[in-house]
Amino acid sequence: MNYLPILGAALIFIIIVSVDLFVCGFGYGASKIHVPFRKVLVINIIGTVMIGIGLFAGYFLSSVLNESIATWLAFGVLFGLGLYKVAEWFFVKRKTPAKEIRPISWRETIILAVALSLDGLAIGIATTVDNWGLVFIITVLSLSLITDIVFFTLGQRLGKRAIKNIKLDLAWISGVLLMGLAIVGLFI
Protein backbone atom coordinates (compact mmCIF):
# COMPACT_ATOMS: atom_id res chain seq x y z
CA MET A 1 0.00 0.00 0.00
CA ASN A 2 1.32 3.46 -0.95
CA TYR A 3 1.09 5.67 2.15
CA LEU A 4 2.25 8.90 0.45
CA PRO A 5 -1.25 9.97 -0.72
CA ILE A 6 -2.61 9.23 2.76
CA LEU A 7 0.11 11.34 4.38
CA GLY A 8 -0.50 14.19 1.91
CA ALA A 9 -4.26 14.15 2.53
CA ALA A 10 -3.69 14.01 6.29
CA LEU A 11 -1.32 17.02 6.14
CA ILE A 12 -3.85 19.05 4.16
CA PHE A 13 -6.60 18.09 6.63
CA ILE A 14 -4.43 19.09 9.62
CA ILE A 15 -3.41 22.43 8.09
CA ILE A 16 -7.04 23.32 7.40
CA VAL A 17 -8.03 22.53 10.97
CA SER A 18 -4.91 24.13 12.53
CA VAL A 19 -5.28 27.48 10.77
CA ASP A 20 -8.11 28.23 13.21
CA LEU A 21 -5.72 27.69 16.10
CA PHE A 22 -3.13 30.00 14.55
CA VAL A 23 -5.68 32.80 14.06
CA CYS A 24 -7.05 32.35 17.55
CA GLY A 25 -3.55 32.26 19.08
CA PHE A 26 -2.68 35.46 17.19
CA GLY A 27 -5.83 37.14 18.53
CA TYR A 28 -5.08 36.13 22.11
CA GLY A 29 -1.46 37.24 21.79
CA ALA A 30 -2.50 40.60 20.32
CA SER A 31 -5.07 40.98 23.12
CA LYS A 32 -2.36 40.37 25.72
CA ILE A 33 -4.06 37.28 27.04
CA HIS A 34 -1.48 34.74 28.16
CA VAL A 35 -2.30 31.11 27.42
CA PRO A 36 0.17 28.93 29.36
CA PHE A 37 1.47 25.73 27.81
CA ARG A 38 -0.67 23.45 30.00
CA LYS A 39 -3.81 25.22 28.75
CA VAL A 40 -2.59 25.04 25.15
CA LEU A 41 -2.12 21.32 25.80
CA VAL A 42 -5.73 21.04 27.05
CA ILE A 43 -6.96 22.86 23.93
CA ASN A 44 -4.87 20.45 21.84
CA ILE A 45 -6.17 17.32 23.57
CA ILE A 46 -9.82 18.41 23.35
CA GLY A 47 -9.33 19.36 19.69
CA THR A 48 -7.68 16.05 18.85
CA VAL A 49 -10.42 14.10 20.62
CA MET A 50 -13.12 16.03 18.75
CA ILE A 51 -11.34 15.50 15.42
CA GLY A 52 -11.09 11.81 16.27
CA ILE A 53 -14.79 11.64 17.09
CA GLY A 54 -15.58 13.40 13.81
CA LEU A 55 -13.33 11.14 11.78
CA PHE A 56 -14.65 7.95 13.34
CA ALA A 57 -18.24 9.20 13.09
CA GLY A 58 -17.65 10.02 9.42
CA TYR A 59 -16.03 6.64 8.93
CA PHE A 60 -18.88 4.68 10.46
CA LEU A 61 -21.88 6.95 9.90
CA SER A 62 -21.05 9.10 6.87
CA SER A 63 -24.34 8.40 5.15
CA VAL A 64 -26.48 9.29 8.20
CA LEU A 65 -24.93 12.47 9.69
CA ASN A 66 -25.73 15.96 8.41
CA GLU A 67 -22.69 18.21 7.91
CA SER A 68 -24.68 21.46 8.00
CA ILE A 69 -25.84 20.95 11.61
CA ALA A 70 -22.24 20.66 12.83
CA THR A 71 -21.22 23.66 10.70
CA TRP A 72 -23.97 25.88 12.14
CA LEU A 73 -23.24 24.69 15.66
CA ALA A 74 -19.55 25.59 15.22
CA PHE A 75 -20.59 28.96 13.79
CA GLY A 76 -22.89 29.67 16.74
CA VAL A 77 -20.33 28.81 19.39
CA LEU A 78 -17.42 30.66 17.73
CA PHE A 79 -19.50 33.73 16.89
CA GLY A 80 -21.05 33.75 20.37
CA LEU A 81 -17.62 33.50 22.01
CA GLY A 82 -16.39 36.33 19.77
CA LEU A 83 -19.35 38.52 20.73
CA TYR A 84 -18.68 37.75 24.38
CA LYS A 85 -15.02 38.78 24.00
CA VAL A 86 -15.92 42.07 22.29
CA ALA A 87 -18.64 42.82 24.86
CA GLU A 88 -16.23 41.98 27.69
CA TRP A 89 -13.68 44.42 26.26
CA PHE A 90 -16.32 47.11 25.78
CA PHE A 91 -17.72 46.88 29.31
CA VAL A 92 -14.52 46.04 31.22
CA LYS A 93 -11.97 48.11 29.27
CA ARG A 94 -11.86 50.92 31.87
CA LYS A 95 -11.05 48.49 34.67
CA THR A 96 -8.14 46.74 32.93
CA PRO A 97 -5.16 48.77 31.71
CA ALA A 98 -4.21 48.07 28.09
CA LYS A 99 -0.66 47.02 29.01
CA GLU A 100 -1.72 44.45 31.58
CA ILE A 101 -1.27 40.86 30.51
CA ARG A 102 -3.92 38.58 31.94
CA PRO A 103 -3.95 34.80 31.93
CA ILE A 104 -6.76 32.89 30.28
CA SER A 105 -9.12 31.23 32.76
CA TRP A 106 -9.78 27.48 32.82
CA ARG A 107 -13.44 28.11 31.95
CA GLU A 108 -12.45 30.19 28.93
CA THR A 109 -9.85 27.54 27.96
CA ILE A 110 -12.46 24.77 27.90
CA ILE A 111 -15.02 26.89 26.01
CA LEU A 112 -12.36 27.94 23.51
CA ALA A 113 -11.17 24.35 23.05
CA VAL A 114 -14.68 23.10 22.36
CA ALA A 115 -15.46 26.03 20.04
CA LEU A 116 -12.26 25.56 18.06
CA SER A 117 -12.72 21.81 17.85
CA LEU A 118 -16.28 21.91 16.50
CA ASP A 119 -15.05 22.75 13.02
CA GLY A 120 -12.59 19.85 13.28
CA LEU A 121 -15.53 17.68 14.23
CA ALA A 122 -17.54 18.99 11.28
CA ILE A 123 -14.64 18.61 8.85
CA GLY A 124 -13.93 15.14 10.19
CA ILE A 125 -17.54 14.10 9.67
CA ALA A 126 -17.65 15.71 6.23
CA THR A 127 -14.41 14.12 5.06
CA THR A 128 -14.93 11.00 3.04
CA VAL A 129 -12.77 8.92 5.32
CA ASP A 130 -14.21 5.70 3.98
CA ASN A 131 -11.92 6.24 0.98
CA TRP A 132 -8.83 6.54 3.21
CA GLY A 133 -9.63 4.15 6.05
CA LEU A 134 -8.16 3.78 9.49
CA VAL A 135 -4.58 4.59 8.42
CA PHE A 136 -5.76 8.08 7.44
CA ILE A 137 -7.52 8.55 10.78
CA ILE A 138 -4.48 7.44 12.81
CA THR A 139 -2.18 9.68 10.74
CA VAL A 140 -4.42 12.72 11.22
CA LEU A 141 -4.71 12.17 14.96
CA SER A 142 -0.94 11.69 15.34
CA LEU A 143 -0.15 14.85 13.38
CA SER A 144 -2.85 16.81 15.21
CA LEU A 145 -1.13 16.25 18.55
CA ILE A 146 1.92 18.13 17.25
CA THR A 147 0.56 20.73 14.86
CA ASP A 148 -2.17 22.13 17.11
CA ILE A 149 0.38 23.15 19.75
CA VAL A 150 2.76 24.58 17.14
CA PHE A 151 0.09 26.60 15.31
CA PHE A 152 -1.50 28.07 18.46
CA THR A 153 1.85 28.92 20.09
CA LEU A 154 3.23 30.45 16.90
CA GLY A 155 0.07 32.52 16.44
CA GLN A 156 0.19 33.72 20.03
CA ARG A 157 3.85 34.75 19.77
CA LEU A 158 3.30 36.60 16.49
CA GLY A 159 0.25 38.33 17.97
CA LYS A 160 2.31 39.52 20.96
CA ARG A 161 5.06 40.82 18.67
CA ALA A 162 2.60 42.55 16.36
CA ILE A 163 1.28 44.77 19.14
CA LYS A 164 4.50 45.21 21.11
CA ASN A 165 5.05 48.78 19.89
CA ILE A 166 1.39 49.70 19.49
CA LYS A 167 -0.07 51.81 22.29
CA LEU A 168 -3.70 50.89 21.55
CA ASP A 169 -5.93 48.61 23.62
CA LEU A 170 -6.51 45.74 21.23
CA ALA A 171 -8.21 43.37 23.68
CA TRP A 172 -11.24 43.23 21.36
CA ILE A 173 -9.24 41.70 18.51
CA SER A 174 -9.60 38.07 19.66
CA GLY A 175 -13.39 38.47 19.66
CA VAL A 176 -13.42 39.93 16.17
CA LEU A 177 -11.11 37.18 14.90
CA LEU A 178 -13.32 34.49 16.44
CA MET A 179 -16.41 36.01 14.78
CA GLY A 180 -14.52 36.20 11.46
CA LEU A 181 -13.46 32.59 11.89
CA ALA A 182 -17.08 31.62 12.49
CA ILE A 183 -18.21 33.38 9.30
CA VAL A 184 -15.37 31.90 7.21
CA GLY A 185 -16.27 28.45 8.57
CA LEU A 186 -19.67 28.73 6.89
CA PHE A 187 -18.01 28.88 3.47
CA ILE A 188 -15.42 26.11 3.91
- Report the alpha-carbon distance of residue 13 to residue 32 in Å, rounded: 30
Alpha carbon 110 to chain centroid, angstroms: 12
The H or E element containing residue 102 is: strand 102-103
Task: Write out the chain's pLDDT in tens, 188 residues.
Answer: 677 777 877 888 788 778 778 888 888 888 888 899 999 999 999 999 998 888 888 777 655 556 676 667 667 776 887 788 788 777 765 454 445 667 888 998 998 888 888 777 777 766 644 456 778 788 888 998 889 899 999 999 988 888 776 665 656 776 787 787 778 767 75
**Angle separating helix axes 106-126 and 67-92, nearest 10 degrees:** 160
Model confidence pLDDT, tens digit, residues 82-127: 788 788 777 765 454 445 667 888 998 998 888 888 777 777 766 6
Q: For the full predicted model, state whether its pTM sits above 0.85.
A: no
Domain ranges of the chain: 4-187
Handedness of CA 107, 37, 147, 181 (dihedral sign): positive
